[in-house]
Homo-oligomer: A and B are copies of this chain.
Amino acid sequence: MKTKDKILKEALRLFNERGLSQVGVREIARSLDISVGNLSYHFPKKEDLIMELLSQIRMANDARYEEYFEGRASLGRFLGTFRQIMENQYRYRGVFLGHDEINQVIKKHFDYLSIEEKRRKFFHRIYTDLAKAGELKLAEGDIEFLISFITLFGRFWMMEASISFTDKSKEEIIDHYMGLLKKQLGLFV
């Protein structure tokens, strides 16, 4: 294997282990028994390394989608494709994960599992009450689904916004995401 590929492979391994920001170029070089100068020859900046990994993900994902479009449209096929995408993302998880100080700080200082537990109970109560009051019609499993939805949603809507809506105002952004939440809950009215 070419040194360049070795670097990419080992870097991804280390990123998956500890996260993007926790792995320095010196460590990647040390782990491969090559010099920093060598690594620097192939990837002058850490960014270049990350970019290469990102390109690999994109190419792999694009290939999956193209495969999908070649066949007939079916829910089963789509779900299969999406699962492959997820597997692929997981393979490169280090590129996406652990690069955030914040979650590390939270995990270090808060009893995060109990916060999670509390949050679940919170929403469970909210949805149960709404069902009792006749505001929502919830079947078996719906509550768990809605809890998962709002957990993911509440945690990441703002990151999503910072990526997708760079030029929108606070009000527009919040309106947009409130619209999503309303629509989602509206499916159970």
- A residues neighboring B (CB under 8 Å): 20-21, 47, 50-51, 54, 65, 68-69, 72-75, 78-79, 82-83, 85-87, 89-90, 93, 95-103, 105-110, 112, 116, 122, 125-126, 129-130, 132-133, 135-136, 141, 145, 148-149, 151-160, 162-164, 170, 173-174, 177-178, 180-185, 187, 189
For this chain, the copies found in one complex come to 2
Partner of A86, one of B129, B157, B163: B157
A152 to B112, CA, bound (A): 23
Assess whether B105 is in contact with A51, with CB atoms less than 8 Å apart. yes
Report B-chain residues with C-beta under 8 Å of the C-beta of A122: 65
Contact assessment for A152 and B141 in the assembled complex, using a CB-CB cutoff below 8 Å: no
In this complex, the member of A89, A116, A159 whose beta carbon has the largest number of chain B beta carbons within 10 angstroms is A159
Residue in B69, B73, B101, B141 whose beta carbon sits within 8 Å of that of A130 in the complex: B73
